[in-house]
Structure 1
Amino acid sequence: MRTAVAAGLFVFIGGVYSADAGGFATFTTPPRGSPDRTRILDLMRKPMESVFGKPIEFDVRTISVSGNYAFAWLHPQRPGGVPLVINFPCEVDGRDLVIEATFVRKNNAWVFDTPADGQPGFCADDVTSWDGWLKEKGLPPQFAGRAKYLSDSD
């Protein structure tokens, strides 16, 4: 299991996120087969199957869990790594398709936290809006598998 550490103390609705003795907040990547990972992937699979049909599997780029928040960055594909065929206007083709989504745990179940329609977007070519979600929740960019916030200038 990968654990990432970021400086700071993060405050979430309902309390303060746990931190190590040095005051650094932690988040984890749930291992294969774990309940959190399985539930998140199953939730992501539903909108993908409704658009592209079954079966869908994922090449997981990042899944992070911190308290009641989660983030997933995935490459949807057919079994065996076969790219999806995209039959509508999209900025990428099936070989480069990635999907990002954020989640919140409510009543012991993961639900989409963004976007407002409850479905993840998968053709957007501008993901800087995720910076706002991360910052709003007090999460570091590493939570989303990034070295820095996308909106930070070089």
Structure 2
Amino acid sequence: MRYVRQWIVAGVMLVLPQLGFAQNWHEPARGTVERAQLMNAIRPVVEWRLGRPVEFVVRQLRASGDHAFAILSPQRPGGGAIDINETPMVRYFGEDAYFFEEVGGIDVIAFLIREGDQWAVVDHSIGATDVWFAREPYCSVFVDVLHGYCPLK
């Protein structure tokens, strides 16, 4: 079941650029300061729920001005799998491991804003099974990084 969701996300990411939407965002390249700052802003938020240490496989990363949007797959350093049963969100926060193992997975979706020279996470989810962010207020506030997700106005 979790693979169905991953295929849907992959399909959306492949089709959207071909639909001709105006694109005002860029993907911060590997090795850039901007990309490192974004990952470093997201990491402690995710580690609070999944335990330390965490690194990310970037599925999608969009930045425009002071706004950013990310879809990430967390893993242990070196590509190790995260044992959901050993994470703080299951052991201490009471989340249902079955949901993450069989239904939602642990992909991270995050919105960030830049304040001065630092990025901050303003909203995020782990294991979402819907496109919760393709609505207001996200579509208005993060309009530049959500092209293709939100209805055209």
TM-score tier after normalising by the smaller chain length? 0.5 to 0.7
More helix, by proportion: 2
Count of residues in correspondence between the two structures: 123
The corresponding residue for 2:64 is 66
Aligned to 2:135, the other structure's residue is in SS state: helix
Change (3 A) 1:65 1:80: same
Q: TM-score under structure 2 normalisation?
A: 0.66
Counterpart residue number, 2:119: 110
Residue in 1 that maps onto 2:109: 100
* CA contact 2:25–2:64 (8 Å) conserved in 1: yes
Counterpart pick for 1:127 among 126, 131, 141: 131
Pick the structure with more strand per residue: 1
TM-score (norm 1): 0.66
Matches of 1:59 and 1:138, distance apart in 2: 22
Relative to structure 1, the CA distance from residue 34 to residue 131 in structure 2 (aligned partners, 3 Å threshold; closer, same or farther) is farther
| Higher RCO (Cα < 8 Å, 6 or more apart) | 2
| Structure 1 match to 2:9 | none
CA distance in 2, matches of 1:78, 1:109: 25
- The corresponding residue for 1:47 is 45
What's the % identity of the aligned pairs? 28
- Partner SS state of residue 136, structure 2: helix
Deviations 1:49-106 (A, max 9, x none): 2233222111100111011100111000012322211122153229932000101111
* Aligned-pair Cα RMSD in Å: 2.9
Whichever residue aligns with residue 24 of structure 2, its letter is T
On the 8 A contact 1:85/1:93 being kept in 2, the answer is no
Q: Is the Cα–Cα contact under 8 Å of residues 105 and 127 in structure 2 kept in the other structure?
A: no
Does the 8 Å contact 2:25/2:62 carry over to 1? yes
Distance in 1 separating the partners of 2:70 and 2:113: 12
Q: Measure, in 2, the Cα distance between the counterparts of 1:77 and 1:151.
A: 32
Q: Name the CA distance, whole Å, in 2 between partners of 1:64 and 1:133.
A: 18
Alpha-carbon distance between aligned partners in 2 of 1:46 and 1:100, rounded to the nearest angstrom: 14
